[in-house]
Amino acid sequence: MRYRDCPTTEVSERITGNCADIWAAVTDIGFPIQFSTELWKVEWLDGADHVEVGARFRGFNRHPALGEWQTNCRVVELEPERRWVWQVDGEDAPMATWGFEIDPTSEGAIVRQWARMGPAPSGLTFAIRAMPEKEARIVAGRLDQWRQGMAANLAGLKALIEG
């Protein structure tokens, strides 16, 4: 597995409840803070205050192996009540792309959170350059951490919505 191939991971959860309530939760940029071991703060930028294409926000992160860092993100896709996607700004391209999707069902929705690495260099780039022979392990390990975080988000969302 190579970073340059922009690997992706995804988690989904079937949630019983009102799709409008689910949408309201996943479009609250502060929602993941409740469940994350990494993201600890978010703030809107440039006067934005809700999810819309072009809106920007900043995430504050910390990780025992990676330290502390901030990311500037931009909403790049929006399909109200169904999907929103944001990119983590890199110098010439996104460092990562993330999204939430809601597929309505008769009793609620199937909610997906997904993320794709790259193509711009990110925090992993330093480790990959230092240990190129371990690139596959580094990338797989980070994808697994992302997957665990997304699973925690969706389990928390399920508990919130289903009560």
* CATH of residue 49: 3.30.530.20
Range of the domain at 45: 3-162
pLDDT digits (tens, 9 = 90+) for 50-76: 999 999 999 999 988 778 999 999 999
Answer yes or no: pTM beyond 0.85: yes
Each residue's pLDDT tens digit, 101-117: 999 999 999 999 999 99
Residue partners of 126: CB distance under 8 A and separation at least 6: none
Q: Average pLDDT of each block of 10 consecutive residues along the chain (163 residues)?
A: 95 97 97 93 97 97 88 97 95 93 97 97 90 95 96 97 94
Q: CA 67, CA 74: separation in Å to the nearest integer?
A: 23
How many folded domains does the chain comprise?
Answer: 1
